[in-house]
């Protein structure tokens, strides 16, 4: 599972990940720093993602 969170913690995108490479369309997002939260196998990974225009 994944969640893309806004700087204030609002969920922007969420869903299931497929095996292999995954892509996200961010053309509708404003410039800024977002959090990508990936959860699976009892573990959670969080990374900052910067959108720059």
Q: How confident is the model at residue 53 (pLDDT cuts 50, 70, 90)?
A: confident
The pLDDT, as a whole number, for residue 25 is: 87
In tens, the pLDDT along 24-35 reads: 888 999 999 999
* CA atoms of 31 and 29, how far apart (whole Å): 7
Joined tokens for residue 41: 């196998």
* CA atoms of 39 and 44, how far apart (whole Å): 4
| Domain boundaries of the chain, sorted by first residue | 2-20+31-51
Q: How confident is the model at residue 40 (pLDDT cuts 50, 70, 90)?
A: very high
Predicted model pTM: 0.82
């Amino acid at each position: 599972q994944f969640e893309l969170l806004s700087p204030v913690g609002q969920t922007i995108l969420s869903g299931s990940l497929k095996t292999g490479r995954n892509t996200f369309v961010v053309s509708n997002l404003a410039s800024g720093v977002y959090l990508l939260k990936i959860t699976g196998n009892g573990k959670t990974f969080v990374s900052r993602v910067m959108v720059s225009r």
